[in-house]
């Protein structure tokens, strides 16, 4: 067994962390900056004295950094409390602004629950929602989007990259179709931002959601890109912060952290994406070669550079995650938000997997501190773990029927 000592530079834990799509450790430089804005520059950005002015300057500089990272204007960035809030604000804000024009929304069956459940709640309020199917790789067919648009369609919301299977969807094309038909386009880029280029102009997005904790920033901070002139209504009311679009005293430390994390992610992306891609390929090839009855989920090439996901025949994903944890490897079965509830993933079911197959899923998402040695150790222990779990499953079936 490989000596795990020294693994995880940020975590200072003797563990291998393969769950970066669930969350990432805060970058040391980002953490340091946050502490400054909690302890020293703690002012309220709305105050006119020096403490307030320093905080205001930091918030506006962070806005410029996020805007630059997305290819947007600073005034088009609204700071929020994370990806879930950004998705809610985007979808509800457009739906309420355009409800006199139409009541139809188009999305996909593999969206994160922040989008799916927002759409479901709008259905209860009289909106009608089309949940587009995906193919076996998790891709939405742009032709199906075009065909679903009616004269009632006001919004199309489709994710850039799927959190469970890593597939990168053709959102540029979807955004183009939406624009041509005069429909607002929102894109959930929570998983793609910081890993592959996300430029709002290239994606033809009118609104776009990002979250800090997926890019080595803190939890509970995110942003919504809201293109100038997009029909949209605020959902929160109060002190007028964020130009009235998301009032409430700003989370200055979180906002500063998001700005720096975004800047670092974009500047480090070219080299880091290539390094992670190499590790991902080693991981995928190794698993498929070493474990019989394993299958990659998601698209083989059109996937995030750090993302590998599989299903294993005759194995429960949850049991696999627990066994890996006991070997010092942190991974997940499906997304962090739905794992633990025992349901087969809606994403895998939409991709055509049988419920039993979908329950054997494992997601491994790599990050900054992972090395080739981590991948090799994982590949060394995985076949034995899978075999053991399969034997237990067979025994249970035999003894308990
Ligand atoms: N959208 C996607 C695709 C995600 O993967 C997540 C989180 O996993 C979210 C939205 C929610 O983001 P947050 O955790 O910042 O609320």
pLDDT tens digits, residue range 65-85? 999 999 999 999 999 999 999
Per-residue model confidence as pLDDT tens digits over 171-228: 999 999 999 999 999 999 999 999 999 999 999 999 999 999 999 999 999 999 999 9
The per-residue pLDDT for 339 is: 47
Q: Is ligand 1 within 6 A of the CB of residue 159?
A: yes
Q: Is ligand 1 within 6 A of the CB of residue 307?
A: no
Residue with tokens 């069956």: 109
Residue with tokens 């080693």: 282
The Å distance, Cα 190 to ligand 1 centre, comes to 6
The per-residue pLDDT for 6 is: 47
Positive or negative, the Cα torsion across 239, 243, 244, 249? negative
Q: Which residues of the chain have pLDDT under 50?
A: 1-9, 335-337, 339-341
Contact by Cβ (8 Å): 254, 26: no
337 Cα nearest atom in ligand 1: 8
The CATH class for the domain spanning 16-25+269-400 reads alpha beta
| φ, ψ at 43 (rounded to 5°) | -60, 165
Catalytic residue annotation: 337
The per-residue pLDDT for 344 is: 86
Q: Is ligand 1 within 6 A of the CB of residue 190?
A: yes
Q: Which fold is adopted by the domain 28-265?
A: 3.40.640
CA–CA distance from 92 to each of 29, 88, 105, 123, 130 (Å)? 35, 6, 11, 11, 16
Taking the CA atoms of residue 19, residue 23, residue 27 and residue 28 in that order, the dihedral angle to the nearest 10 degrees is: -90
The Å distance, Cα 318 to ligand 1 centre, comes to 21
What contacts 349, CB < 8 A, 6 or more positions away? 355, 358
Per-residue model confidence as pLDDT tens digits over 382-391: 999 999 999 9
Protein residue closest via CA to atom 5 of ligand 1: 163
Q: Is ligand 1 within 6 A of the CB of residue 361?
A: no
The structural domains of the chain, with segments of one domain joined by +, span 16-25+269-400, 28-265
The per-residue pLDDT for 401 is: 61
Residue with tokens 């299977």: 165
Burial of 61 (0-12, 13-18, 19+ CB in 10 A): middle
The Å distance, Cα 83 to ligand 1 centre, comes to 5
22 Cα nearest atom in ligand 1: 8
| Distance between first and last Cα of the chain | 36
Taking the CA atoms of residue 357, residue 112, residue 337 and residue 59 in that order, the dihedral angle to the nearest 10 degrees is: 150
The Å distance, Cα 81 to ligand 1 centre, comes to 11
DSSP for 85-112 reads HHHHHHHHHHHHHTTTT--EEEEETT--
Q: Is ligand 1 within 6 A of the CB of residue 212?
A: no
């Amino acid at each position: 067994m490989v000596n795990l000592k020294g693994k995880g530079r940020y975590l200072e834990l003797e563990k291998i962390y393969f769950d970066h799509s669930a969350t990432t450790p805060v970058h040391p430089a980002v953490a340091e900056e946050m502490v400054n804005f909690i302890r020293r520059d703690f002012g309220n950005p709305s105050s006119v004295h020096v403490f307030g002015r320093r905080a205001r300057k930091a918030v506006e500089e962070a806005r410029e950094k996020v805007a630059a990272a997305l290819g947007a204007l600073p005034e088009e960035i609204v700071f929020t409390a994370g990806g879930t809030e950004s998705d809610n604000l985007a979808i509800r804000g457009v739906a309420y602004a355009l409800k006199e024009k139409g009541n139809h929304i188009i999305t996909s069956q593999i969206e994160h629950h922040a989008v799916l459940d927002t759409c479901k709640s709008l259905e209860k309020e009289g909106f009608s929602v089309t949940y587009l199917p995906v193919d076996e790789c998790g891709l939405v067919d742009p032709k199906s989007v075009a065909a679903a648009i009616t004269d009632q369609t006001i919004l199309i919301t489709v994710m850039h990259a799927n959190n469970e299977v890593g597939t990168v969807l053709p959102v540029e094309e979807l955004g183009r179709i939406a624009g041509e038909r005069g429909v607002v386009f929102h894109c959930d880029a929570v998983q793609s931002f910081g890993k592959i280029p996300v430029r709002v102009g290239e994606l033809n997005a009118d609104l776009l959601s990002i979250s800090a904790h997926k890019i080595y920033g803190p939890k509970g901070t995110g942003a919504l890109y809201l293109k100038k002139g997009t029909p949209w209504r605020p959902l929160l009311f109060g002190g007028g912060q964020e130009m009235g679009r998301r009032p409430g005293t700003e989370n200055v430390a979180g906002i500063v952290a998001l700005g720096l994390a975004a800047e670092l992610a974009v500047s480090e992306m070219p080299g880091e994406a290539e390094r992670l891609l190499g590790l991902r390929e080693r991981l995928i090839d190794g698993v498929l070669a070493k474990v019989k009855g394993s299958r990659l989920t998601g698209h083989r090439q059109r996937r995030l550079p750090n993302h590998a996901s599989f299903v294993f025949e005759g194995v429960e994903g949850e049991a696999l995650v627990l066994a890996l944890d006991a070997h010092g490897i942190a991974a997940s079965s499906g997304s962090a938000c739905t794992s633990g509830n025992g349901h087969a993933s809606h994403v895998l079911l939409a991709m055509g997997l049988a419920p039993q197959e979908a329950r054997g899923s494992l997601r491994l998402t790599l990050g900054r501190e992972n090395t080739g040695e981590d991948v090799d150790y994982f590949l060394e222990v995985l076949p034995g773990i899978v075999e053991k779990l399969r034997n237990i499953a067979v025994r249970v079936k035999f003894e308990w029927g």
